[in-house]
């Protein structure tokens, strides 16, 4: 039996490298949003209002329910949270 090694849990879980890359980006954004929101020291209701979302949606975000958020939605939330997003694109080694 051979042992597979992956650089990310998403590489192991997703069917394609494109899907894994999407999930990595979503996880990174979600984590950054959770940190920003925690730093505000506001209630969920107040934080939700600041981001322009409902409290149940805020709860999904804070609980890490990544399947409920598209990459686009997380990008918009990051912008609403005054986060600056910087992407670096590199070619994979063959």
Residue 11 lies in a domain: no
Q: What's the domain range around 64?
A: 29-88
Residue 65 lies in a domain: yes
CATH code (residue 83): 1.10.260.40
* Residue pLDDT, tens place only, 28-75: 999 999 999 999 999 999 999 999 999 999 999 999 999 999 999 999
Q: What is the pTM of this model?
A: 0.82
Residue 43 domain-assigned? yes
Alpha carbon 47 to its chain centroid, in Å, reads 17
Count how many domains the chain has.
1
Q: Measuring CA to CA, which residue among 53, 11, 7, 61 is closest to residue 31?
A: 61
Residue for token pair 């990544």: 66
Residue 7 in domain: no
């Amino acid at each position: 039996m051979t042992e597979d090694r992956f650089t990310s849990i998403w590489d192991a879980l997703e069917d394609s490298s494109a899907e894994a890359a999407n999930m990595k980006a979503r996880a990174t954004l979600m984590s950054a949003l959770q940190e920003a929101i925690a730093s505000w020291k506001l209630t969920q209701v107040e934080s939700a209002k600041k981001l322009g979302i409902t409290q149940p949606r805020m709860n999904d975000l804070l609980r890490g329910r990544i399947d409920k958020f598209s990459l686009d939605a997380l990008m918009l939330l990051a912008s609403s949270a005054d986060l600056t997003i910087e992407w670096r694109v590199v070619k994979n080694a063959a």
